[in-house]
A and B are shown apart, each in its own frame.
Chain A
Amino acid sequence: MNTSITTYLKKQTHPAPLAVFRIGFGIMMLISIVRFWLHGWIETLYIQPEFHFSYYGFEWVQPLGNYTYIIFAICGISAFLVAIGLKYRIAIITLFLSFTYIELMDKTTYLNHYYFISVLSFLMIFLPANSYFSVDNLLKKRTFFLIPKWTIDSIKVLVSIVYIYAGLAKVNSDWLFKAMPLKIWLPSKYDLPFLGNSVMQQEWFHYAVSWSGMIYDLCIPFLLLYKRTRWFAFALVVFFHVFTRVLFPIGIFPYIMIVTALIFFDADVHERILNGFRFLLKPFKINSEKSEVKIYHYKAQKIVMPIITLFFIIQLAFPFRYLFYPNELFWTEEGFRFSWRVMLMEKMGYTTFKIVDGKTGKGFLVDNSYFLTSLQEKQMSFQPDFILEYAHYLGDHFKSQGHKNIQVFATSYVALNGRLSQPYVDATVDLYNEKESFQHKDWILPFNDEIKGF
């Protein structure tokens, strides 16, 4: 056993796939940041709101007013440096830190694919992605023709985890036997040409998409790993992600996944891609001939290996933390995030807050739009941790205004996957008195239904 691991760790491979991956990832990240900036989202999502929803334990991560732009600039520049492979190690660490900081500023904008980018950029800190076809090679006048095989495999493993966990999450009764939430989403795409008014309206199509989505997620890593099916799998990847891009507002994520899937190909495919870049760079007469050619060796393998191992153990285990919580996961969302549960729910809520003087019993309702952006209000309305954090914010706000004996009560109605709305939180519980923790929130009312499966 141990010997086979040792042999595996000693296996070497050509670094071209990792180089192409680095370039693709860097470019996609740069485009993401520029796109985010051009949409004005830095302003509307991070600067305008006067209150931000924080992750538990990360309350200190806040937008920095107009300096928030600098964080995005740093993130964009580091993405560019990653792409060209200049000062790679510093660049990828900066990219990881700045991007993760951005994501931690407000959980209103939580998306699984942002989490994926954070996790992936963390992993890439430990990979020799600048060992080939990078500016660093030119500067140091050395390039590598072999790197440890596990470095490329680790990205494949991470991508496989994402797909397989996303597939497992779809193995539930709502998704498979009610075609929910696709039965709600797809008919609303009636304005698509050809498909919109035909198949999008058909129930069989909703089921077909649900089941094939589940099967796709569970199978695609294996189809990509197996050489004979690889091109077919890649075509599926392109088809699937473009299809979701057409249907849903998921920004740049599909393209990132398409680029990521290239990692599964052998080095000769990547050499051909790199030849394309070499052709484009020809006019600049970059001389890389003098580089000394070496085999890459980790200087601190003893530190890196435990980190990578621990990283994957966490990746495998963390999505199952929901098992520690009672009640329906989709309803309470305790342990829902960071688990590759993508597009599983159509959930909407309506939550109002009452500030009450505990002594006199008198109180008043809060106009949420006074404190929250509409996006924040939408997200807050059906997620318990948001409701609690906002209740505390309101309590503190009115306390500072001189109100006494403050109690904060929420009345909330939530609808999940086509079920009609029902009361969501216990309206008699003073939320100002409840503390955030990893414990189960017992003021969430029961779901009164069951969704079987993962």
Chain B
Amino acid sequence: MLKKTALFLGLVFIMGCSSSDESKGGSTDDFDRSALLINLADNIIIPAYKDFGPKLVTLKSAVDEFVATPNQSNLDAARNKWLTAYKAWQHVEMFNIGKAEDLNEYYYFMNIYPVTVSDIENGVSTGAYDLNKPNYHDAQGFPALDYLLNGLAADDAGIVAKFSTDANAQGYKTYLTNVINQMDNLTQQVITDWTSSYRDKFVSSTQNTATSSLNKFVNDYIFYYEKGLRANKFGIPSGVFSTTPLPEKVEAYYNQEVSKALSLEALNAVQDVFNGKAFNGSATGASFKTYLEYLKVDRDGKNLSTIINTQYDLARSKINALDTNFSKQVKTDNSKMTIAYDALQMAVVYLKVDMVQAFNISVDYVDADGD
């Protein structure tokens, strides 16, 4: 009897478990992950794209106008819209998920800097270039616009001349137009996908698997913070990863005065996503912060979410102490730049080690058996 019962129990259990891999549970859990994803999608991601999209369209018409009539006032207008759109971009760059990822990394086509000037100049003079090719990632997007609108010549008259009287004027016009068209085209694709089908797919994928929305989003968020924000905007220019500082590698290098403004936008975006703060307004919802509170991840009576927010705030105060032009800051007093980097860096530890451990998400990069 004992034998048969045991065998029966074993078999039932095997059958019960073998078919359970991908199915989804109910929602009786105290913490509702689907609410987190809904808050992210409806109150942050889609509104941020809906803010960015039209700003890019406005930039496109300003660029078109400048190409049609290259003069100082049209140049000023295009630069102005460029900055507005670039700031809005800082709020969407981290969402490398869904269509953005399917496009072979949308942000590769939008914000890889520093630009490779020789690629642009060769393209302009020969007309032989393909912006869809990976080796043109660093010759398009906002950084290419930065070069074309701010860096082509020593002064504004010289820049306008490049688009009007220069022997390659038509080449510059075409290149500029191609860049903005590419940005607009890809952006519209991403937005359409979010607003048509992807939103529902995103919010319903709450499982703990390597490919579920939540896990991918956490990974993307941390990846962006570590690479896009910490390394690209601060670490690389200040020479943290090289033997000497590299002031020419700041974001918006040719503009010379907005690298700080852009980085502050990016930090705000990162912190707002962490806190689940609505893009339009100050309401907050389910977020990494509330998830950490639910999990009661505390140290010395403080929740990890408080520690992370404090660290973000500290980093912001260090950034505020910098020159508006990071390139100048690196050249004059690089130590302040590395202080800001260090403050940002500490948050990487909290995110990458403590937060990920608390969420215990299946990380996307580890494909092997465990013990």
Contact = CB atoms under 8 A, between A and B. Distances in A.
A188 B240 contact: no
A188 B359 contact: yes
Given A41-B368, A188-B359, A421-B354, A238 B25 contact: no
B299 interface: yes
A415 B355 CA distance: 10
Interface in A208-258: 231-232, 234-235, 238-239, 242-243, 245-246, 248-253
B6 A231 contact: yes
Interface of A is mostly: mixed
Interface of A: 39, 41, 44-45, 109, 111-113, 184-185, 187-194, 196-198, 201, 231-232, 234-235, 238-239, 242-243, 245-246, 248-253, 342-343, 346, 348-350, 362-367, 374-375, 378, 413-415, 418, 420-421
Given A196-B25, A201-B29, A421-B349, A342 B2 contact: no
A350 B348 contact: yes
B208 A231 contact: no
B332 interface: no
B356 interface: yes
B14 A238 contact: yes
B28 A364 contact: no
B360 A346 contact: yes
B361 A413 contact: no
Interface stretch (B16-24, B36-44, B256-264, B273-281): B16-24
Interface residues of B, number: 56
Contact of A44 (B10, B24, B367): B367
A198 B17 contact: no
B206 interface: yes
Given A41-B368, A191-B206, A249-B369, 7 more contacts: A187-B360, A191-B209, A231-B3, A235-B5, A248-B370, A364-B241, A365-B235
A53 to B, nearest CB: 14
| Most B Cβ at <10 Å: residue of A41, A185, A191, A246 | A191
Nearest to A201: B29
A374 B365 contact: yes
B30 interface: yes
A39 B349 CA distance: 31
A363 to B, nearest CB: 8
Contacts of A413: 349, 353
A117 to B, nearest CB: 12
B7 A188 contact: no
Contacts of B20: 192-193, 246
A235 B366 contact: no
Contacts of B29: 190, 196-197, 201
A277 B278 CA distance: 65
A169 B241 CA distance: 42
A378 B366 contact: yes
Contacts of A232: 2, 6
A214 to B, nearest CB: 16
B361 A188 contact: yes
Nearest to B357: A348
B208 A184 contact: no
B30 A201 contact: yes
Contacts of A188: 208, 359-361
A401 B297 CA distance: 44
B14 A343 contact: no
A45 B368 CA distance: 9
B357 A415 contact: yes
Given A190-B33, A246-B20, A346-B357, A364 B242 contact: yes
B357 to A, nearest CB: 5
A189 B17 CA distance: 13
Contacts of A342: 371
Contacts of B13: 238-239, 242-243
